[in-house]
Structure 1
Amino acid sequence: MPRKIARQAVEWFLLEQSGEATPDELVASARWRARDPEHLRAWHKVQQVSGQFEQTAALLPPGVAAPVLRRPQRRAAMQALLALMTVPGAWMLYRHDLLPTYLLAELRSDVGQRRELALPDGARLLLNSNSALDVAYGAHERLLTLRRGEILVETRPDHAGRRPFIVATRHGRIRALGTRFIVRVEDDDSRVTVLEHAVQIAPRAASAAIRRVEAGQQARFDASYAALPTAAAPQADAWTQGMLLAQNMRLDAFAAELARYRPGLLRVESQVAGLRLSGAFRLDDTDSVLDSLTRMLPVDVLYRSRYWVTITAHVK
């Protein structure tokens, strides 16, 4: 089953089970299931995993249950995770990417939230909206595993020894060389932007070449290849100050970026997707950003609900 479809099925299921879905969102969920037999199959698998909760929650080890229950997750998400951790059948579904690994992450940020944390060695960590990662400081390395989203890291010297500082994604590992850098993970690849000093990228494939990225550069990599570094985007860390900067950006790309900071669905009709805009936008009030689009471009913003928004061509 494609990862994208599995993830969409989980998200629709959790929204319905949360009790927060509007009538329009329930209709949209039903339409999504009806659109493709693969969608319906994924939905049934999510239901199967969730339905195992009542029979298996009592088997969960306390050390696993407590962190999950302390997080502000929806009940349906906890049901699925508990079943995943205890039922062999659920493990099989997990291995086939039914449930995203970020649901189990140790550290998380909500949609629209930025979190700043101090790591055990004094390093600074900033999570962007809707991000998740695990931290594992061991005898031989200091490891962050980014499961979802984007982080900024400011490393510190290792006073406990000479352990390398590593950020891992599903695509490979980034070794910090005394540095300040940003890592963003997406479905197809990961991106590193170096703000100070340098990093080394090692894709997962053993045969892949290691790539060095210097301050002021960025590079993308997947599991088999790290691309040549290019100049970093201007003010690539603007999100750490709650800003989204656009420079002659297509409207559909702008909306996709803005959608990372607001719950629900944000869509752009094809006839206006290619419009371009520039400016600086505050991420703490995405409704105001959407309202400003109607003054900058010939578009309207249609709210079917608070969580289902479409940017359409302006109607005179």
Structure 2
Amino acid sequence: MNAAIDPALIEEAARWFVLLASGEATADDRTACAGWRTADSRHEAAWQHISAATARVSGIPRQHAQASVAALNATGKDQRPGRRRFLAQLGILCAIGIAARQGWRQSDWSADQRTAIGEQRDLTLADGSLLRLDTDTAIDIDFSASARLIRLRRGRIMVATAPAPSPAATRPPFLVETAEGRVEALGTQFVVRQESDSTQVTVVQARVAIHASLAEGAPPILAAGEAARFGRQGIIAREAARPGSSAWIKGILVADDMPLADFVAELARYRSAPLECAPAVRQWRISGTYPLVDTEGALAAIGRILPVRTQPLHPEDPARGTLVVAR
């Protein structure tokens, strides 16, 4: 998805596209659409984006399409009888605009592999490499004679690359691509996490090379026991891997003098309903090991260690989330 295109223009292009494809467009409609496209290069870019996106329309989640149709019906526009039959199509195309506004995250419906919140999954790749997907993770897999590429759309993965079938075997490099660049495996086991504005890498065995998308020069190399966070320009921070940073692979959260806010935020990734930390206790520290598969048990455990308790985030509706507060 081209992030440079204004989502409002994508939605406008979607309306023009469906109108012209509906069989209901008049000569004046077609002239007006042509005028709109030529009036601004950004309009034409939006039109081309929608033209390409229609090939993927059938996979857009039903709830997105239904929400778009409902919104369109509420406007009272395009309600002439001859056009009602393609309102659903229009809603689906406008859902593309909604996805554009919400970014890469909302495109996960088309990912090759996904995990639900609270789920972890193991995969064996075509070359024998092992992959573990953490909670709420989405990836694409591009394996062929010329590529071994994992695109991490969101979430966190652990990669354990398989050795070459023979010492003389030549294979394409094993790469994990994120929004900020690529991580190249150098015979290794490592963890990659896509954060909101950066990529976090932790090396468990051997080494990796960090190829930030806009960086120049030789890529920095991380060795076993090192971790780094990088953006498109290069490495932002580099340090020794924190104790237990890869324990999530075994379903465990290891806290080593961790701020309670960070602890709660990590648990929240494994819960469908929101989990938040009250400002008064955010900087309290906690240590220990806690189960990620039983977040309620983990919350009960910290209540035995620290003077905290849980309460509904919205008292009028306890199902809408949980807040950790001081006792």
- In the superposition, the TM-score normalised over structure 1's length comes to 0.72
Q: Deviations over 1:102-159 (max 9, x none)?
A: 3321101111111001111111000011111000113322000001110000111455
Q: Secondary structure at the match of 2:235?
A: coil
Q: What is the aligned partner in structure 2 of residue 243 from structure 1?
A: 252
Q: What is the aligned partner in structure 1 of residue 160 from structure 2?
A: 154
Unpaired runs of 5+ residues, structure 1, are 4-40
Q: What amino acid is aligned across from residue 130 of structure 2 in structure 1?
A: R
Structure 1 residues 197 and 266: CA distance shift in structure 2, 3 A? same
User: Alignment length, in residue pairs?
Assistant: 257
Q: What is the aligned partner in structure 2 of residue 180 from structure 1?
A: 189
Q: What is the aligned partner in structure 2 of residue 220 from structure 1?
A: 229
Q: Distance in 2 between matches of 1:272 and 1:167?
A: 37
Q: Secondary structure at the match of 2:261?
A: helix
Structure 1 residues 123 and 99: CA distance shift in structure 2, 3 A? closer
Q: Which protein, 1 or 2, shows the higher relative CO under an 8 Å CA cutoff with sep ≥ 6?
A: 1
The reply to whether residue 144 of structure 1 matches residue 156 of structure 2 is no
**Cα distance, 1:64 vs structure 2:** 7.4
**Cα distance, 1:228 vs structure 2:** 5.6
**Sequence identity of aligned pairs in percent?**
35
The reply to whether residue 269 of structure 1 matches residue 256 of structure 2 is no
Q: What is the aligned partner in structure 2 of residue 20 from structure 1?
A: none
Q: Distance in 2 between matches of 1:85 and 1:180?
A: 44
Structure 1 residues 225 and 60: CA distance shift in structure 2, 3 A? closer
The reply to whether residue 204 of structure 1 matches residue 213 of structure 2 is yes
Unpaired runs of 5+ residues, structure 2, are 23-49, 69-87
| Mapping of residues 5-84 of structure 1, within 5 Å | 65=58, 68=59, 75-77=62-64
- In the superposition, the TM-score normalised over structure 2's length comes to 0.69
Q: What amino acid is aligned across from residue 125 of structure 1 in structure 2?
A: L
The reply to whether residue 104 of structure 1 matches residue 135 of structure 2 is no
Q: Secondary structure at the match of 2:63?
A: helix
Q: Secondary structure at the match of 1:229?
A: strand
Q: Distance in 2 between matches of 1:174 and 1:246?
A: 26
Asked whether the 8 Å contact 1:108–1:130 carries over to 2, the reply is yes
Q: Secondary structure at the match of 1:254?
A: helix
Q: Which runs of 4+ in 1 moved over 6 A?
A: 80-86
Q: Distance in 2 between matches of 1:254 and 1:296?
A: 13
Q: Deviations over 1:208-251 (max 9, x none)?
A: 65110011111110111114632111122211111001011111
Structure 1 residues 119 and 290: CA distance shift in structure 2, 3 A? same
